[in-house]
Amino acid sequence: MPMERAYVTAMIDSLKSKIEILKDIRKKNAEQLDLIKRVPFSAEDFDKNADEKGILIYKLNKLDNGFQIVYDNLKAELEANKAEYADEIRLMQSLITEITELSTTIQAEEARNKAALENYFKGEHSKIKSGRSQSKAIKSYTQTMLNSGKR
């Protein structure tokens, strides 16, 4: 039984670590939005942020996998002795609720950042297109002037 209790404690610690990583991801999302809005836009800074966020997501996945392995091994014990583990089960349920809320918030932030980035690139595309049109107009005007001088 003491060994099982240690595993339950490890599961709780894993959930707490997951919450901290999710909070760090939220910080990276906020930084990402600031980077998108910054003028001039720095692709290098944006990529660095995305890489750092990728590392956090990797850590999150490792925690998920470890938690699942331990849970799968303890599931029968926890179900058979619900009363004995009632406090730990309630704590884990509470932590999982917080994780779910953070995950939902992160999904919304990701959607917001994606839309902001798409808008930025649409604006840049329009500027490039406008620049091309201006360039064509100047070329056309120059050609017209050259041709009118030949008459």
Dihedral (CA of 28, 30, 31, 36) sign: positive
For residue 51, pLDDT over 80 is answered with yes
Three-class SS state of 148:
helix
For residue 68, pLDDT over 70 is answered with yes
Measured CA to CA, the distance from residue 55 to residue 106 in angstroms comes to 16
Question: Does a cis peptide bond (omega within 30 degrees of 0) precede residue 2?
Answer: no
- Please state the domain extents for the chain: 2-149
Measured CA to CA, the distance from residue 132 to residue 107 in angstroms comes to 37
| pLDDT tens per residue, range 94-129 | 999 999 999 999 999 999 999 999 988 888 767 676
Q: What is the pLDDT at residue 151?
A: 46
pTM of the model: 0.82
